[in-house]
């Protein structure tokens, strides 16, 4: 990777992850706030299927919010990385923070920016799956 392009690439990725973490939070909060209104419109009858769907919606909402929090933390780590001149120095700073917080053991060899970005992409995929389960469960619960 080009050393001159490293801070810009890390900063752009951090901003993108920040946005991708924020909008699902807003969507889940809006859906949870609208749930009582949907319940009034749909009617007071509660079936076993709708009760299970509400439980699945609640669990997937918690999962979506937790994954969004992890993504926000990752975005801040990418911003920390971008504040350094070289990829090695930025990676060492992130590894040091994670080791001091006892989240990861001190790494012998630093991971590249691309490897770290791939890990965050995996979190984004999991967040999207949890959000899809939440949306599907809310639809089933509201209209069954």
Tens digits of per-residue pLDDT, 100-139?
999 888 766 678 899 999 999 999 999 999 999 999 998 8
The residue-averaged pLDDT of 36-54 equals 69
The reported pTM is: 0.86
Number of domains in the chain: 1
The answer to whether residue 105 sits within a structural domain is yes
Residue 21: name the closest of 143, 100, 124, 101 by CA.
Answer: 124
The answer to whether residue 1 sits within a structural domain is no
CA distance 20 to 9: 16
Angle at 50 between CA 45 and CA 56, to 5 degrees: 150
Q: Residue 87 is part of which domain span?
A: 6-42+51-143
Any residues with CB less than 8 A from the CB of 24 and at least 6 apart, and which? 64, 68, 127, 131
| pLDDT above 80 (res 93) | yes
Highest mean pLDDT among 35-39, 67-71, 83-87: 67-71
Residue 141: name the closest of 63, 55, 60 by CA.
Answer: 55
| pLDDT above 90 (res 35) | no
The answer to whether residue 21 sits within a structural domain is yes
> In the prediction, which pLDDT does 48 show?
79
Phi-psi region of 67 (alpha: psi -120 to 50; beta: other; left: phi over 0): alpha
Angle at 9 between CA 6 and CA 82, to 5 degrees: 60
In the chain, which residue ranges form alpha helices assigned H by DSSP? 6-42, 48-82, 87-100, 113-143
CA atoms within 13 A on the CB side of 21: 22
Give the model's confidence band at 28: pLDDT under 50 very low, under 70 low, under 90 confident, else very high. very high
The answer to whether residue 138 sits within a structural domain is yes
> In the prediction, which pLDDT does 38 show?
62
Furthest CA-CA distance within the chain = 62
The residue-averaged pLDDT of 59-84 equals 96
């Amino acid at each position: 990777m080009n050393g001159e392009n490293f801070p810009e690439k890390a900063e752009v990725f951090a901003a993108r992850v920040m946005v991708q973490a924020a909008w699902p939070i807003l969507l889940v909060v809006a859906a949870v706030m609208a749930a009582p209104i949907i319940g009034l419109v749909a009617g007071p009858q509660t079936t076993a299927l709708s009760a299970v769907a509400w439980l699945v919606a609640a669990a997937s909402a918690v999962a979506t919010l937790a994954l969004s929090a992890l993504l926000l933390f990752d975005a801040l780590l990418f911003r920390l990385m971008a504040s350094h001149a070289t990829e090695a120095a930025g990676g060492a700073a992130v590894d040091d923070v994670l080791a001091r917080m006892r989240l990861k053991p001190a790494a012998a060899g630093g991971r590249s920016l691309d490897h770290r970005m791939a890990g965050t992409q995996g979190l984004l995929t999991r967040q999207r799956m949890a959000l899809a389960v939440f949306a599907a469960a809310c639809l089933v619960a509201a209209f069954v």
